């Protein structure tokens, strides 16, 4: 954290995130390097599809992340709160998806000014795994190479030398 503070990074309060991952009924996401999850973060829910990683060195991949809330509604599948997550889990299970694992973590988001960009970081305490740091830039396809160089430079500056490409779910399932 001292190195982040020295870089004038903004460190936000910790928030609990619970991710429930699903297996596809017709293809093996472990083989195709894809993921589908429902995330519960505070009172909000999100559904995320992660495509295959696109290189051998980083976790760079396409993602579709959609909120599962609609503000003023107090119940039903588009509202926030635990009932919304349960409704979406029921929908996915009715379509043949099945839960394969849950990841629980305390996450502190970080905004890091670096090379005229704002790098998004996360300081994670993952149940049954330990502490991890993530660095991320969201860029269009043509900006991937410069984003990777920026992230690598910042990781070096922060002393983050051990890169881990496996997801938290993969690490937990390997235990």
As annotated, the active-site residues are 21
Beta strands 35-41 and 44-53 are antiparallel
Sign of the torsion angle spanned by Cα atoms 162, 163, 168, 171: negative
Cβ neighbors of 47 (< 8 A, separation 6 or more) are 36, 37, 38, 39, 65, 66, 68, 88
78 within 8 A of 84, measured Cβ to Cβ: yes
């Amino acid at each position: 954290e001292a190195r982040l503070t020295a870089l004038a990074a903004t460190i936000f309060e910790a928030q609990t995130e619970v991710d429930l991952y699903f297996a596809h009924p017709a293809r093996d996401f472990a083989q195709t390097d894809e993921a589908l999850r429902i995330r519960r973060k505070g009172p909000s829910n999100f559904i995320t599809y992660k495509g295959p990683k696109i290189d051998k060195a980083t976790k760079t991949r396409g993602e579709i992340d959609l909120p599962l809330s609609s503000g003023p509604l107090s119940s039903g599948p588009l509202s926030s709160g635990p009932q919304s997550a349960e409704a979406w889990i029921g929908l996915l299970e009715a379509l043949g998806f099945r839960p394969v694992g849950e990841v629980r973590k305390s996450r502190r988001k970080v905004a890091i000014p670096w090379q005229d960009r704002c790098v998004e970081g996360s300081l994670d305490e993952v149940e049954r795994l330990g502490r991890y740091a993530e660095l991320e830039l969201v860029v269009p396809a043509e900006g991937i190479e410069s984003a990777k160089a920026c992230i690598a430079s910042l990781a070096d500056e922060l002393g983050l030398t051990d890169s881990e490409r496996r997801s938290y779910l993969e690490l937990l399932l390997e235990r």
